[in-house]
Structure 1
Amino acid sequence: MAILSEEDRKLIISLLNEYSEKLLNMCEQIDRQQRNFDFLWLLLAFAWTMVFYWLFSTKIITILTILTITIVSQSFVIYIYFGIQQPRLELLQRKASIISAKLEKVIRAASQAQEHTTMAGGFFSDLEVDLRLSDAEYALQHYKNLAKKRKFFGYF
């Protein structure tokens, strides 16, 4: 059985830490933006429901005022989301996909190295690599669950 040097062990640990932290941070941002997106659509639906309610319960001048205010505010909100937030979310998802692929390769390489070699530092070095591997596997699984998760409004 070959011995893995201390430098290689530190490199494996630093790569596992770096990619798993990046992936978890991106997952957090993606989740936050998806929740904001869901809230935005609920807000839009509520506003239009209120407009239709007021349409049938008030005078024509009030209806025109309410419609104007609603249309202007809704257009602004939709522009903010689709013009600013949606491209940012897509970019985050692409970056997270790339980082998850890299992390998967690092996990695979670290697992193979751990199976076929012994660490220079002994038992505690093996334990540290095991712990970092489990953290990285958690980050990867968290990303996969987030990517699979159905959006609140699956059509958008």
Structure 2
Amino acid sequence: MAILSEEDRKLIISLLNEYSEKLLNICEQIDRQQRNFDFLWLLLAFAWTMVFYWLFSTKIITILTILTITIVSQSFVIYIYFGIQQPRLELLQRKASIISAKLEKVIRAASQAQEHTTMAGGFFSDLEVDLRLSDAEYALQHYKNLAKKRKFFGYF
């Protein structure tokens, strides 16, 4: 069985740490963006409900009033989503997919190296690589779960 040098072990550990941390940070940003947009929709729905309640209770409802409120609020949502939110989410998702592909390759290489070689530092070096591998696998699984997670408003 071949022995993996200390430099190689440190390189594997640093790559696993770097890519898993990047992926987890991007996943947090994606999740935060999606939650913020869901909150915006709920806030807007609440505002619509209050406005329509006020209109019906004061009996000054007209088609023009309803159309104006609907057009203004829909324009606001469309601008927020397509002008600001969607490009950010697409960029973050693109970055996350690139980093996840790199992380998968590093995990695969580290697993193969661990199976077919022994670490220069002994048991604790093997344990450290095992721990870093499990952290990286968690980050990758978290990204995959986030990618297939149904959004609150799934059709957007």
Alignment TM-score, normalising by the size of structure 2: 0.89
| CA offsets 1:55-111 (integer angstroms, 9 cap, x no match) | 222253999789767754663454233211220011101110111111011001100
| CA offsets 1:13-60 (integer angstroms, 9 cap, x no match) | 000000000000001000000000111111121222222222222253
Aligned residue pair count: 156
Question: Residues 27 and 143 of structure 1 are in contact (CA less than 8 Å); yes or no, is this contact kept in structure 2?
Answer: yes
The separation in 1 between residues aligned to 2:146 and 2:89, in whole angstroms, is 13
In the other structure, the counterpart of 1:134 is: 134
**Percent identity of paired positions between Structure 1 and Structure 2:** 99
> Relative to structure 2, which stretch is displaced further, 68-77 or 30-39?
68-77
Question: Residues 47 and 70 of structure 1 are in contact (CA less than 8 Å); yes or no, is this contact kept in structure 2?
Answer: no
- Partner SS for 2:57: coil
Shift of 1:119: 0.6
In the other structure, the counterpart of 2:53 is: 53
| CA offsets 1:125-147 (integer angstroms, 9 cap, x no match) | 11110010011011111111111
In the other structure, the counterpart of 1:108 is: 108
Question: Residues 119 and 126 of structure 1 are in contact (CA less than 8 Å); yes or no, is this contact kept in structure 2?
Answer: yes
The separation in 2 between residues aligned to 1:35 and 1:81, in whole angstroms, is 13
Which structure 2 segments of 5+ residues have no match? Answer: none
Question: Residues 4 and 117 of structure 1 are in contact (CA less than 8 Å); yes or no, is this contact kept in structure 2?
Answer: yes
> Relative to structure 2, which stretch is displaced further, 23-32 or 36-45?
36-45
Task: Say what the alpha-carbon RMSD is for the aligned residues.
Answer: 2.2
Alignment TM-score, normalising by the size of structure 1: 0.89
> Relative to structure 2, which stretch is displaced further, 56-65 or 75-84?
56-65
Question: Residues 55 and 63 of structure 1 are in contact (CA less than 8 Å); yes or no, is this contact kept in structure 2?
Answer: no
> Relative to structure 2, which stretch is displaced further, 16-25 or 83-92?
83-92
The separation in 1 between residues aligned to 2:66 and 2:82, in whole angstroms, is 24
